Structure 1
Amino acid sequence: MSGEALERYQNLGLRESLSLSYRYPLVCKELGVILRLGFSKSPKPLQSLLFEDTIAAFRLLPQMQTQSAVSAANLLSQSAAAAFPKQKRGLAATEFKQAKVAYKRRFKTQQERKDLVQLPQDVLVHLFSFLDMQSLVSAGIVCWSWNAAASDNYLWQLHYITHFGDGEIIPKQKGHQSSRNFCEDANYDWKEAFQKAYLGLPSWRYKYNRGFCRFCDSIVWPNNLNCPKAHLTTFQLHGIQPLKPLSPSQLVRYVLENDTSWLYSSDSDSESDEEGDLKFWTFKY
């Protein structure tokens, strides 16, 4: 049982994802939930690994460039303070304090640099066109120039079509008479249209950052709400979505429970959001 829980936790790939700046806040929040809900129930080897990953997250904080990373690390430190025993709690607190000091020094140094070379906006837009939705939102909170590029209307049009289909279902905006005209209107605000459509979705399936792929039989970071391996499966041929969204509390259940048959069930649409609104849209810019 101990070895199986440890293996399932390692399959989440949290340590590897920490070094990716656009995933750092998500991993810190995910790790924090696992600490709060599962640390005391975890076997000793898993507790040791959870502690190591928490320390690794704090040590990587100075390399991050966004306030969302600091906020996520702060939440992780609160979870660590609540979950760890006294000795580990003290060590984690010391690491976090040192990380915050190093982050502030690095940030100040970067602010003082006057020769920082920025890529042209058209180059940034082209590069951002290869990002999935979550990565695009995260890129937009890195700095001012990235924010401008990530707000490009063309990028939001691409993602609107990817997520919601063609322009026939675009909600009407003031001054427009037919949805067909929206696709041809260069001034149409695709970012606003995406946000309205996204926030208005009745299903909770778009709220979470993780999913279980029935085809891959593994937990993945979705790419535009699909498995990143982009395989055409028999599920999709029959109109069935092979990717099952998972909430942070369900990840804890996946790690600690020996029975994972519930992952293959289709009852996730009735789940409530136990951890609050964890949509990637919360990373506004």
Structure 2
Amino acid sequence: MATPMERYKKLFVGEALSEIHRYPLVSQELSSILKLGYRRFPKNVQALIFQDTLTAFRLLPDMQTSAAVSAAQLLLKSVEAVLPKQKRNLAIAELKHSKVAMKRHSKTREEEELDSPQLPEDVLRHIFSFLDVASLVSAAQVCRSWNLAAYDNNLWQKKYDLLFKDSSQSLTQKTDIDWRETFKNSYIAENLSKALRSTWGYCWYCDSIVWHNSLRCPKEQCRLKSGGKLVDHISTQQVVEYIMGGLQSNTYSSESESDEESVYGLWAYPKLAF
């Protein structure tokens, strides 16, 4: 039987933190694991979680997004509530250093933007029209010029028409529509009943929490064994139980959370930072 340390390592928290588009979500997940399970874990797991927490704070200057800053602040609250004094002080000091570095990086990037030639906004809009929604959201956080191009109303109208064909015709007759906001609201409503986001889930065939695609385990052998069966949504509390000793068949209940909680559950559905 796998140890708590082995199970925690299977989550690949440290690796996921280095990916800009996953950093906010993983930091939030780490925050919840700290609050819900840190004191229950053996010391070797506590040490690894602490290292991942320091890593999260250390990587913050490389993220340069408001979502990343908010996630780091949430993680800080868990650090202050759970960690013993010495570790708490080390983590807080690490975050302070990162915030200073982040301000320096931000100033340097602003100066570079002013000195470097920028692509015309219409060219950026054309390039962005080929991006999927998640990539478009990420592109909006790169710099001011990209942000302006990525917020283009016509661009979001095309995204809306593509995903919500049935309802787009009734809206096209209206004027002054904020298509980005309309897309966001429709996307959220759609996913209250359809689990189509790429995120974490529990696969019973490999006994692992996996980063799945369309709620299916990425491992080919599992897909073959399951016949393409969807992986289960799990709450952060269930992640803690998994680390401690694995999930039993009666641990998981799709009725334990409301639809809205499921959509916004940390390990079930990451929020898109619209």
TM-score by length of 1: 0.73
Select which of 241, 245, 266 maps to 2:233. 245
2:188 matches 1:199? yes
User: Using the alignment, how far apart are the partners of 1:20 and 1:97 within structure 2?
Assistant: 21
Gap change, CA 1:17 and 1:277, over 3 Å in 2: closer
- Residue equivalent to 2:137: 137
Once the two structures are superposed, residues 145-189 of structure 1 have per-residue CA deviations (whole angstroms, 9 ceiling, x without a partner) of: 333454465677568756x6xx2355732627xxxxxxxxxx997
Q: Is the 8 A contact 2:216 2:231 kept in 1?
A: yes
- For residues 90-169 of structure 1, the aligned pairs below 5 Å read 90-113=89-112, 114-118=114-118, 122=123, 126=127, 129=130, 131=132, 133-151=133-151, 157=158, 161=162, 167-168=165-166
Q: Is residue 215–residue 242 contact of structure 1 (8 Å, CA) maintained in 2?
A: no
**Counterpart contact for 2:202–2:233, Cα < 8 Å:** yes
Partners of 2:23 and 2:68 within 8 A in 1: yes
Q: Equivalent residues in 2 for 1:68-107 (5 A)?
A: 68-107=67-106
C-alpha distance in structure 2 between counterparts of 1:217 and 1:156, whole Å: 42
Aligned equivalents of 2:36 and 2:263: distance in 1? 11
Partner of residue 201, structure 2: 211
User: In percent, how many aligned pairs have the same letter?
Assistant: 40
8 Å CA contact retained: 1:61, 1:103 = yes
Amino acid across the alignment from 2:254: S
1:23 CA displacement = 1.2
Worse overlay, 76-85 or 267-276: 267-276
Does the Cα contact within 8 Å between 1:160 and 1:190 map onto a contact in 2?
Answer: no
Aligned length: 264
Classify 1:233/1:94 alpha carbon distance in 2 versus 1 (closer, same or farther; 3 Å).
closer
Q: Which runs of 5+ in 2 are unaligned?
A: none
Report what 1:268 is aligned to.
254
Q: How does 1:27-66 map to 2 (within 5 A)?
A: 27-66=26-65
- Answer yes or no: is the 8 Å Cα contact 2:217–2:230 preserved in 1: no
Deviation at 1:78, TM superposition (A): 1.5
Residue 245 of structure 1 aligns to a residue whose secondary structure is coil
What amino acid does structure 1 have at the position aligned with 2:110? Q
Contact 1:80 1:89 in 2 (8 A): yes
In the other structure, the counterpart of 2:4 is 5
Q: In structure 2, give the amino acid aligned to 1:220.
A: V
- TM-score for both structures, normalised by structure 2: 0.76
Q: How does 1:160-199 map to 2 (within 5 A)?
A: 161=162, 167-168=165-166, 170=168, 172-173=170-171, 175=173, 191-199=180-188
Distance 1:259 1:280, change over 3 A: closer
SS at match of 2:95: helix
Q: Residue 220 of structure 1: SS of its match in structure 2? A: strand
RMSD, aligned α-carbons: 3.9
SS at match of 1:68: helix
From the superposition, tell whether residues 120 and 216 of structure 1 become closer, same or farther in structure 2 (CA, over 3 Å). Answer: farther
Paired AA for residue 140 in structure 1: A
**Aligned residue identity for 1:107:** S
What does the per-residue CA deviation read over 1:71-112, in whole Å, with 9 as the maximum and x for residues that have no partner? Answer: 211211111111111111111111111111111111112122
Q: Answer with 205-214 or 9-18: which moved more.
A: 205-214
Cα distance change, pair 171–230 in 1 and its aligned pair in 2 (3 A): farther
The aligned counterpart of 1:181 is none
Work out the CA distance in 1 between the residues paired with 2:205 and 2:162: 25
- 1:254 to 2:242 alignment: yes
